[in-house]
Amino acid sequence: MNKKTRFLKKLWKGQRGQAMATYALITASMLVAGSVFAMKILPDMLDAYNHFAASLYFGINMPFP
């Protein structure tokens, strides 16, 4: 076996874990994005929904049509 084929075989074996590493990076980035969403955006969205529901009930319970 010459140097080139040994190098190519070694390179091929080095790429075996690439799919798992990519999966780990994507999973970690989604977890970080999800935690940022949960800490920053979700409370604001729930507050906005609470204000909307309160104004809707205020409009329904008004004494005049």
Q: What is the pLDDT of residue 14?
A: 60
| pLDDT of res. 35 | 93
Question: Where residue 29 falls among pLDDT bands split at 50, 70, 90?
Answer: very high
For residues 58 and 19, what is the distance between their CA atoms, to the nearest angstrom? 55
**In the chain, alpha helices (H):** 3-14, 18-36, 42-60
> Which residue has better confidence, 37 or 64?
37
Specify the 3-state DSSP secondary structure of 64.
Answer: coil
d(C-alpha 51, C-alpha 37), whole Å? 20
Compare 57 and 3 and report the one with higher pLDDT. Answer: 57
CA–CA dist 33, 27 (Å, integer): 10
